[in-house]
Amino acid sequence: MADNFTLIDQDQTDDNSELYEHFRFVADKGQALLRVDKFLLNRIENVSRNKIQQTAKAGNIFVNNNPVKQNYKVKPEDVVTVVFSYPPREIEIFPQPIPLNIIYEDDDLLILNKQADLVVHPGHGNYDGTMLNALANHFVQTGQHIENGYGYLVHRIDKDTTGLLLVAKNELAQTILARQFFEHSIERRYQALAWGDFKEDEGTIVGHIGRSLKDRKVMSVFEDGSYGKDAITHYKVLERFGYVTLVECKLETGRTHQIRAHMKHINHPLFNDAWYGGNVILKGTTFTKYKQFIDNCFKEIPRHALHAKSLGFVHPTTRKKMHFESELPSDLLAVTEKWRNYIKTRPDSING
């Protein structure tokens, strides 16, 4: 049996590192007929037969772009691709009574409207008090048996980003949903308050996003594609306030800090985004009253002004299209109203 192959591509998403991984192999010309599960088991490190079987059941193993079952026989020059979903890095997660706004739940998944100042997953500097600790508590309190105790992440949003988040309740559901995220078929729309008056009513930002070469905690845009991963953000102006603009952002990809990095790249950083330079006055007058107004706005929303407003996907079991909307949080509503009133009472200030 020929055991040669070519690994064409191996990719982990930036924003959901360790949540999904993509492999693409081309079987050698001398490849003997071999079940695809054994083919993958021989070629991918640290993957179990059960994981491969779950992935095949979810429809995430493809040969020549067609989904196959685990018993498909790989032939010479077949192109085999697979999208694996992975649980977060092993870490002890114990129940903590942290409030959660769960807006939908069934046997396979739940949707929650995440509040600000809540880290999604334990990590460096945040070993508890996270959304997963809150989910573990929710499942205990509701008498639900979840295999890992806290659910399966399929995507993440930043600590201070509010809005809709999807969590799977079993590994099969996670695997099916992971494919939708990987193929960018998940519909995600955000609303954000950004500095500056956009020239166009709508547009598209294209530019690879990767860790900054100067500051590893933030992301940079590399237009030439020399570093990072492809990222596409579509935006549409919802309301103009002269010095800031309320915009809707639709993601085609889901990179770490994608909207925040893309908006900074086009010189429209998010309002009060300390990591990307939005926490200082970038547009406006030098009047003392204006500076005080901005300070009051920053106090009203002491975080970057970004909200995950809508989420659409195909249910992993029923295969029905599901769509959810969430209202803007009180802080973003309040600061938007402040700007709305400001330009009404001081229309001349826009030119000031």
pLDDT in tens, the chain (352 residues): 333 344 334 343 334 444 667 788 898 888 889 999 999 888 887 788 888 888 888 788 889 988 888 889 999 999 998 887 655 555 678 999 999 999 999 999 999 999 999 999 887 667 789 999 999 999 999 999 998 899 998 888 999 999 999 999 998 899 889 888 878 889 999 999 999 999 999 999 999 999 888 888 899 999 888 888 889 999 999 999 999 999 999 998 888 899 999 999 999 999 999 999 999 999 998 899 999 999 999 999 999 999 999 999 999 999 999 999 999 999 999 999 999 999 888 755 554 4
- Within 10 Å of residue 318's Cβ, how many Cβ atoms? 10
Architecture of domain 102-182: 2-Layer Sandwich (3.30)
Tell me the angle at which helices 288-300 and 330-345 cross, rounded to the nearest 10 degrees.
160
Give the pLDDT confidence score for residue 15 in this predicted structure.
46
**Selection from 335, 274, 266, 327 nearest residue 304 by Cα:** 274
By the 8 A CB rule, do 235 and 202 touch?
yes
Strands 79-85 and 152-153: unpaired
pLDDT at 184: 83
| pLDDT score recorded for residue 258 | 95
Domain with CATH 3.30.2350.10 in the chain: 102-182, 187-351
User: For domain 187-351, which architecture applies?
Assistant: 2-Layer Sandwich (3.30)
Cα dihedral sign, 64-65-68-71: positive
Closest CA to 348 of 303, 300, 290: 290
Provide the annotated active-site residues.
Answer: 158
Q: Where in the chain is the domain with CATH 3.10.290.10?
A: 5-85
CA distance 231 to 147: 34
pLDDT of residue 20: 66
43, 25 Cβ separation under 8 angstroms: yes
Q: What is the CATH number of domain 5-85?
A: 3.10.290.10
